C-alpha cells in the first residue's frame, strides 16, 4: 500500500479515548461494503477513536476521516496489530493477498470477520495463524 503520507498509521495513544471498554475494530478495504460496515459500527455506538479504516488511496482515506471521524491507515498490518476485531471488506479476488499481508500481525484471540462472498472458512484458516477465531 502506498498512501502512507496522507493516510497516517493508526494512532496508538488512547489517552483521550473514553470508550476503552469497546473492542477496537479495523475495517480493511473501504468501498461500498467496508463503508457500510463502518457506518453500522458507529451507529451501534462505537467511538470513532476505536475504529480504524484502511484505504489504498489517500483521497479516500481523507473522505472517510471527514465523513465518519474515524482514523485511517494505508497500512493493513498496523491496523490489524492494534485491533480486537478485524473486518475484511475487499473483493474476493483480493482476499488471499490481504490475508498473506495481515497474517503476521494477527494476535492470538483477534476475531477476523469477512463480508466477501464465495470463499470457504478453510480458505481463511489456511492463511491465518492457527487458532484464529474466524467467522464468514
Ligand atoms: N456490494 C455489495 O452489495 C456486497 C454485498 C455482499 C457482500 N459483498 C462483498 O463485500 C466485499 C467488498 O465488495 P464492495 O462491493 O464493497 O467492493 P468495492 O466497493 O470495490 O470495495 C473494495 C475496496 O477494497 C479496497 N481494497 C482492495 N484491496 C485492498 C487492500 N489490499 N487494502 C486496502 N483496501 C483494499 C478497494 O480499494 P480501491 O478503491 O483503491 O480499489 C476498494 O475500496 C466483496 O468481497 C463482496 O463479495 C458486497
Domain ranges of the chain: 25-135
Question: Does residue 71 surpass a pLDDT of 60?
Answer: yes
Pocket of ligand 1 (CB under 6 A): 1, 28-34, 54-57, 76, 89-92, 94, 98, 115-117
* Long-range Cβ contact pairs of 10-16 (< 8 A, separation 24 or more): 10/52, 10/71, 10/73, 10/75, 10/78, 10/79, 10/82, 11/71, 12/82, 14/49, 16/49
Mean pLDDT computed over 41-64: 97
Domain 25-135 = CATH 3.40.50.720 = yes
Report residue 135 as a C-alpha cell.
467467522
Task: In whole angstroms, give the CA distance from residue 28 to residue 78.
Answer: 11
Report residue 41 as a C-alpha cell.
459500527
Question: Does residue 7 surpass a pLDDT of 50?
Answer: no
Q: Please give the residue that has the higher pLDDT: either 21 or 81.
A: 81
Q: Which of 123, 117, 125 is nearest to 89 (CA)?
A: 117
User: Which residue owns the Cα nearest ligand 1 atom 41?
Assistant: 56
Question: Does residue 5 surpass a pLDDT of 90?
Answer: no
DSSP 89: -
The region of weakest confidence among 16-20, 29-33, 46-50, 125-129 is 16-20
User: Which residue owns the Cα nearest ligand 1 atom 19?
Assistant: 31
Residue whose grid cell is 496489530: 81
Instruction: Write down the pTM of the prediction.
Output: 0.89
Using the atom order of ligand 1, give the atom closest to the CA of residue 35. Answer: 16
User: Which residue owns the Cα nearest ligand 1 atom 33?
Assistant: 29
Task: In whole angstroms, give the CA distance from residue 4 to residue 11.
Answer: 13
Question: Does residue 133 surpass a pLDDT of 70?
Answer: no
CA of 95 to the centre of ligand 1 (A): 10
Amino acid at each position: 500500500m502506498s498512501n502512507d503520507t496522507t493516510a497516517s498509521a493508526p494512532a496508538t495513544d488512547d489517552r483521550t479515548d473514553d470508550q476503552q471498554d469497546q473492542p477496537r475494530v479495523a475495517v480493511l478495504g473501504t468501498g461500498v461494503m467496508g463503508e457500510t460496515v463502518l457506518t453500522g459500527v458507529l451507529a451501534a455506538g462505537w467511538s470513532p477513536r476505536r475504529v480504524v479504516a484502511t484505504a489504498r488511496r489517500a483521497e479516500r482515506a481523507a473522505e472517510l476521516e471527514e465523513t465518519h471521524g474515524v482514523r485511517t491507515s494505508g497500512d493493513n498490518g498496523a491496523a490489524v496489530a492494534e485491533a480486537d476485531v478485524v473486518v475484511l471488506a475487499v473483493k474476493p479476488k483480493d482476499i488471499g493477498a490481504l490475508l498473506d499481508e495481515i497474517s503476521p500481525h494477527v494476535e492470538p484471540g483477534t476475531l477476523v470477520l469477512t463480508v466477501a462472498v464465495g470463499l470457504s472458512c478453510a480458505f481463511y484458516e489456511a492463511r491465518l495463524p492457527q487458532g484464529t477465531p474466524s467467522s464468514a
